[in-house]
Structure 1
Amino acid sequence: MEQMFTIGKIVNTHGVKGEVRVLPSTDDVKRFGKLKEVKVENRTMTTYEIETVRYHKNFVLLKFKGIDTMNEAELLKNSLLKIDRKDALPLKKDEYYQCDLYGLRVVTDTGRDLGKLTDILMTGSNDVYVVRNEEKEILIPAIKQCILKVDLEAGEMLVHLLEGLED
């Protein structure tokens, strides 16, 4: 399991006082307001204390302690923002971090091995799991009728294929 999660990417600077514009990659954008620090991964991994958080359109504007000019902020452009797993938002029952699902072996309730979960498509209404084996690819909606059990320790997902999913 990954021990760090990527929660956004610095895509530009904002203003002249050292703020950065972040494109968030988390479901709850307000989570930035709960963080005291974040790790910035560029060529190295550096921890920065968050001074201020603002929200503007689809972006999060962050001001890091010690980054006080546009030139200093420019050096952070295209960096990934990461947090430790322990700082991630808590999960509810039957919720999982997406990064933990990749590579799970997917088996039907009839015992047939479908392959491995290789991708997750976010469609708006529900996620769709892409499962591949040597022969084909199957798209399985992430709904309770299809996803019966996820066992991260065993590395397996038990699914029920609704009619028409394999066609």
Structure 2
Amino acid sequence: MEWFNVGRIVNTHGIRGEVRVLSTTDFEEERFAVGNRLAAFKKDDKKPTWVTIESVRRHKNFILLTFEGMDNINMVEPFKEGLLKVTKDQMTDDLLQENEFFFHEIIGCEIVSEEGEKIGVVSDILQTGANDVWVVKGAKKEHYIPYIEDIVKEINVDDKRIVIHVMDGLL
């Protein structure tokens, strides 16, 4: 089964079973909605525990979640430093608007210039607030490409190929 990360459980919070989650999804409202099911992977564990979200609230830069049937710290402590994931079936395209993509569709794409010069492959995506920045592993060094209209000209996730306009100072 193919899994996709939506959050990392960085710690517990209080004694009533809350976990502190660092989100790794653009769709927090949908992924962390009350009643939603997620696969919780304990640190270094390959088999998930399915959990249903009972409550959700924001606290500073974190999302605080409780899971149904886990109402004290002892029940959620084993999930500390674990991951929250969804399956490919849970990732529906109706969450996306035009010219939006899931991270897993962009990561692994080859970046080429409008002239056809190979620049590298997207290895990570940084969320800055203003726009996403793609980390691109080139042959000799790493590049940071902002996902903005002036730079990204064409995205073909089926062929894993992205064409960009190389502005002065970008590379």
Q: Scaled by the length of structure 1, what TM-score is found?
A: 0.83
Question: What residue is the counterpart of 2:168 in the other structure?
Answer: 163
Q: Which residue type is aligned with residue 94 of structure 1? A: N
Deviation at 1:3, TM superposition (A): 3.7
1:114 aligns with 119
Q: Does 1:97 align with 2:119?
A: no
Q: Which amino acid aligns with 2:39?
A: K
Change over 3 Å in CA distance of 1:137–1:6 after alignment to 2: closer
Alpha carbons of structure 1 residues 47 and 55: separation in structure 2 relative to 1, 3 Å: same
The equivalent of 1:13 in structure 2 is: 12
**1:57 aligned partner:** 60
Matches within 5 A, 1:68-107: 68-88=71-91, 90-107=95-112
CA contact (8 A) 1:38 1:48 kept: yes
2:70 aligned with 1:67: yes
Q: What CA deviation, in whole Å up to 9, does each residue of 1:13-70 have, x standing for no partner?
A: 2333322222222234333125521110112211112222233332222221221322
Q: Report Cα offsets for 1:69-124 as digits up to 9, x if no partner.
A: 22112122111111123334611111111222122111211122222223333333
**Which residue identity lines up with residue 40 of structure 1 in the other structure?**
A
Take 1:51 and 1:143, find their aligned partners in 2: how far apart are those partners? 37
Aligned length: 165
Please tell me whether residue 135 in structure 1 is matched to residue 134 in structure 2.
no
Q: Which residue of 2 aligns with 1:39?
A: 39
1:29 is matched with: 28
Rounded to whole Å, the distance in 2 between the matches of 1:100 and 1:85 is: 12
Query: CA contact under 8 A between 2:41 and 2:84: conserved in structure 1?
Result: yes
Give the residue type in structure 1 aligned to 2:169: G
For 1:113 and 1:24, the matched residues in 2 are separated by 32
Corresponding letter in the other structure for 1:33: A
TM, length-normalised to structure 2: 0.82
Q: How far apart in 2 are the matches of 1:16 and 1:136?
A: 46
- Give yes or no for contact 2:34–2:53 (8 Å, CA) kept in 1: no
The answer to whether the Cα contact below 8 Å between 1:140 and 1:161 also exists between their aligned partners in 2 is no
